[in-house]
Structure 1
Amino acid sequence: MSLNSTTNLHNGVKMPWMGLGVYKMDVENGEARDAVLSAIEVGYRSIDTASFYKNEEGVGEALQKTNVPREDLFITTKVWNDEQGYEETLEAFERSRKKLGLEYLDLYLIHWPVPGKYKDTWKALEKLYNDGKVKAIGVSNFLPHHLDELLKDATIKPMVNQVELHPQLNQPELRAYCDEHDIQLEAWSPLARGKFFDDPIIQELAEKYSKTPAQVILRWDFQHGIVTIPKSSSKERQSENADIFDFELSAREMNRLESLNEDERIGPHPDEFDYSK
């Protein structure tokens, strides 16, 4: 296994196990562009952005500059809450696609389950998928009850569910649900912004394997079959995050990391999100 290794989504599309997240990366100073270019140089082929991040243009600049063939890249973006609804989502997709400078997207996600809107939004994603404008469609921040409601009327099952997930929020019920329904789970903020790097268990494992706390956590993700998109604009850190394929955590060590769960979020709970903003 390596940085180029992929998982097969339930529709047969290959998705890299690791990608670069670009949340809060600036466009004006070139941060988003430069971070994407350095990540591609390191070997990343998956880039995750969103309409809400307001840096799709920066990602697009990098994609125009790289010599890596388009078919070797996996580009994800998301429709934001105030863009949801059937027609609104179709328009939002075109805005994002043009900002990215792409003919098609690899993955398009509903960013949050906006009550009363996400089912119509999903119908728009199904149309985009059936029209060949996106290779795969999915959701973000959906809990099992959101997925149950979506699946009542969906003609296409989501291929991906991107959620906050890390050892202190390991979401066993959601993981089991997605596994049962063959929905690929993807972790945003997999390192929880470094909040628990100093945990004794993580420190012990990092020392044992001569790895960083971040590498131990990302390896935990990988061994659980979770796609992960750590954010970093530093080329050195991007390389470090990707260097997780030369060691393996034992079953006991995986369980020890599992024991760190405290249901502690750094982002909002999907059922408590203020969708009026």
Structure 2
Amino acid sequence: MNTPTLTLSDGAEIPQIGLGTWELRGEEAYRVVRDAVEVGYRLIDTATLYNNEAEVGRAINDAIKAGDVTRDDVVVTSKVWDSDHGADSTKKAFQQTLSLMQLDYLDVYLIHSPVPGSNVETFEAMAQLQGLGSIQSIGVSNFYPSVLEELIDKTGIVPAINQVELHPGFSQAELRKLHQKLGIVTQAWAPFGGGDFFNHPVILEVARRHKVASSVIILSWMVAIGCVAIPKTAQKERLLLNLKVHDFRLSDDDVSKITAIDNESGAGRKFWDPKPVGR
């Protein structure tokens, strides 16, 4: 199954549909990752905060041992948590992640969220690890324009990725425009908005016309607007369903109608806002 990919600024390829593992724990995390790799996922996203790096890594390694994939086939992402910011702490946290996952390198390592006063030092430490060959691509998560531009200005390094909340009703149009200008790939967490848009009239109408589920329409829209999406599910049938984005293309009109949900009453951010009040 050929998953559509994007090329990062450093030349690495990243699938546009991956697996998010937030709230997956223990053997469930292991099972879901094994299932995901088996059915065709080649992007797996975790983080120190998720407390599942060991299980995710074990699943990936077992898939490699079984001959399902090679290490080069799988894009593995993790993130440094807020309490591990700083030069030394970041490097220690990264080595702990590699140890837990039993991997020689990470494909993508992100700052999980902006922490005032420590983003620059943390990102520079990540760049040093990248220079040593331990990380392919470095990026950020939950960065809003002012902290993103400050990071670039002070380090001289443009993150390859910014992973942010993005879904119908909150398409992050201005941030995506900035990302495009800077050469940053937009990655969407919570692409379904907590499920709030599965029964939205626009989504349902497009889904009926294409004879697919609402979730597939949402992910197809993500692909069409140039994003990477990392939906989470613990069900194998849903894993398979999410990959049906490969079966068809939305029209420009479909894409515009879904993007326009941003303008409706009640649209907007559904989860945590990383931007401090007054900033």
Corresponding letter in the other structure for 2:216: Q
Q: Structure 2: any 5+ residue segments left out of the alignment? A: none
One-letter amino acid of the structure 1 residue matched with residue 234 of structure 2: S
Task: Give the partner amino acid of 2:248.
Answer: F
Asked whether 1:52 is paired with 2:53, we answer no
Is the aligned partner of 1:267 residue 2:256?
no
* 1:19 to 2:23 alignment: no
TM-score, with length taken from structure 1: 0.95
1:142 match: secondary structure: coil
The letter of the residue matching 1:118 is N
Give me the whole-angstrom Cα distance separating, in 1, the residues matched to 2:10 and 2:167.
26
State percent identity of aligned pairs: 39
Once residues 43 and 248 of structure 2 are traced to their aligned partners in structure 1, the CA distance between those partners, rounded to angstroms, is: 22
Identify the residue that residue 76 of structure 1 maps to in structure 2. 77
**Match of residue 118 from structure 1:** 119
In the TM superposition, residue 145 of structure 1 has moved relative to its aligned partner by 0.8
Q: Are 2:254 and 1:250 equivalent residues in the alignment?
A: no
CA, structure 1 residues 117+263, in 2 after alignment: closer, same or farther (shift >3 Å)? farther
Task: Render the CA deviation track for 1:152-210: whole Å, top value 9, x for unaligned.
Answer: 12232110010000111111110000001110110011011211211111111111111
Aligned to 1:38, what secondary structure does the other structure show? helix
SS of corresponding position for 1:78? strand
Is 1:38 the counterpart of 2:42? The answer is no
- Structure 1 segments of 4+ aligned residues over 6 angstroms from their partners: none
Structure 1 residues 207-264: Cα deviation after superposition (integer angstroms, max 9, x where no partner):
1111111000000000011011111111110000011122222222211111111552
d(CA) in 2 for partners of 1:99 and 1:208?
46
Q: SS where residue 25 of structure 2 aligns? A: coil
The answer to whether structure 1 residue 142 and structure 2 residue 146 are counterparts is no
Distance in 2 between residues matched to 1:176 and 1:227, nearest whole Å: 15
Larger helix proportion of the pair = 2
What is the aligned residue count? 270
State the partner residue of 2:5. 6
Secondary structure in structure 2 of the residue aligned to 1:113: coil
Query: What value does the CA root-mean-square deviation take over the aligned residues?
Result: 1.2
